Amino acid sequence: MSLVNQVETHLNELIEIRRYLHQHPELSFKEENTKKYIADYLENLGIKVKKDVGGNGLLGYIKGDHPGPTIAFRADFDALPIQDEKDVPYKSTVDGVMHACGHDAHTASLLITAKILQENTQDIHGNVVLIHQHAEEVLPGGAKSMVDAGALKDVDYLFGTHTASHIDANKIGFCAGPAYAAADSFEIEIQGQGGHGAMPQLAKDPIVAASSFIVQAQTIVSRTLDPLESAVVTFGTFNGGNAFNVIADKVKLSGTVRTYLPTVKQQIKERLNGILNGIESSFGVKCHLSYQDGYPPVVNHEAETMWVKQLASQIDSVEEAFDYPPSLGGEDVGYYLQHVPGSYFFTGVGNQSLNSTYPHHHPKFDLDEQSLQNSVKIFLSIVENSKDLKLNK
């Protein structure tokens, strides 16, 4: 029996694992019980496990009986600081913490993949590295530290998937080239001179200065960048002032910049500083920009993406394997794909009848659990057809 055909017999366990993890979420960099659960599961299968890789990360190693490439699969396992508002038996038992992005599903899918592979090493050409990654949700993330700690040692290719509630269940999206953007953040402090609201001539109003800055910053994308390049400059917070009749002394702003190309990112940084210099001259205030580079863009390798898309289209439970448009969202899986070829695809889990179409990071986020079999089947199909990768390398 092929590896793919064995998945449905493990579907109940796949769902059970996902629900257990959903009930016991842990925040980024605090995933102590989750990493123990994963390690125990893999070790009980007889899989060699390397623990505390780059933090709370784990690596599992499966050796096939035949020569071939080494393929890594990556799944993240941290949760979010969100109160679970679903009315389901597997609702989070941790107040204020829930798996609102599908990382529980990613982990469950990779664990079942590992189980089937470990039971069928006689049919595997090459080796498999299981990358169970901590802390995807919070900078600096877990991917870079795991890469730095040797997670990709001897790895030839890497693949992973993200559940997507906005994609119908049993449909799989593939995006060759840039799929996610570099996700940066910034903070700006504008120091003015406070005063009475009735005597603005005696003050230097940082709120007015900040407002002018925000408006001017909206011209960066529209008037500085090449119209054919994608980017976003978004302000998320504006804090300052304490009373309706008092001119504030200081204002703080924060936001995010999303780009695909390093040159575009540099243009935005330069323009932010240039506009702030003008604000200082115009309003007599002092401005300070703190810019934090976030995750790199996720750039899928074209040949591997098209290859996996073709494999997915041949799986009976996959209704459609389609070209998915790039997003300006962020994901630290890009660190791995900077070093080895591979692809990160999107597993549809949306089902209106199951209330699983809420957006990611929503308090009622859920997914069509039956559709998780597709992630496992695609992973196994990659391994079954890994000789194609070796030939094309």
Q: Is the pLDDT of residue 290 over 70?
A: yes
The mean pLDDT value for 120-132 works out to 97
Distances (CA, A) of 324 to 76, 170, 204, 317: 21, 14, 49, 19
The response to whether 134 counts as a known ligand-binding position is: no
**Nearest-angstrom CA–CA distance, 331 and 164:** 13
The response to whether 162 counts as a known ligand-binding position is: yes
Kindly write down the DSSP assignment for every residue of 264-331, as one continuous string.
HHHHHHHHHHHHHHHHHHHH--EEEEEEEEEEPPEEE-HHHHHHHHHHHHT-TT-SEEEEPPP-S---
pLDDT digits (tens, 9 = 90+) for 167-205: 999 999 999 999 999 999 999 999 999 999 999 999 999
Q: Is the pLDDT of residue 391 over 70?
A: no
Q: Is the pLDDT of residue 353 over 70?
A: yes
Q: Is the pLDDT of residue 289 over 80?
A: yes
The mean pLDDT value for 360-387 works out to 97
| pLDDT the model gives residue 76 | 98
Rg (CA), the chain: 24
| pLDDT the model gives residue 1 | 72
Q: Which of 369, 316, 380, 314 is nearest to 347 (CA)?
A: 369
| pLDDT the model gives residue 388 | 85
The mean pLDDT value for 74-84 works out to 98
Q: Which of 133, 132, 87 is nearest to 366 (CA)?
A: 87
| pLDDT class of 387 with cuts at 50, 70, 90 | confident
**Nearest-angstrom CA–CA distance, 196 and 211:** 19
Q: Is the pLDDT of residue 392 over 70?
A: no
| pLDDT class of 24 with cuts at 50, 70, 90 | very high
Beta bridge partners of 259: 182, 231
Extents of the domains making up the chain: 4-180+297-392, 182-295
Q: Where do we find the tokens 């005063």?
A: 195
| pLDDT the model gives residue 390 | 64
pLDDT digits (tens, 9 = 90+) for 150-163: 999 999 999 999 99
Give domain 4-180+297-392's CATH number out of 2.30.110.10, 3.40.50.1980, 3.30.70.120, 3.40.630.10: 3.40.630.10
| pLDDT the model gives residue 363 | 98
The response to whether 101 counts as a known ligand-binding position is: yes
- For residue 38, the tally of other CB atoms under 10 A from its CB is 27
Q: Do domains 4-180+297-392 and 182-295 have the same CATH topology?
A: no
The response to whether 175 counts as a known ligand-binding position is: no
**Which residues are catalytic, by number?**
78, 136
C-beta of residue 185 within 8 angstroms of C-beta of residue 139: yes
Region of 117 on the Ramachandran plot (φ > 0 left; ψ -120 to 50 alpha; else beta) = alpha
Give domain 182-295's CATH number out of 3.40.109.10, 3.30.70.360, 1.20.1280.290, 3.30.1130.10: 3.30.70.360
Q: Is the pLDDT of residue 242 over 70?
A: yes
| pLDDT class of 393 with cuts at 50, 70, 90 | low
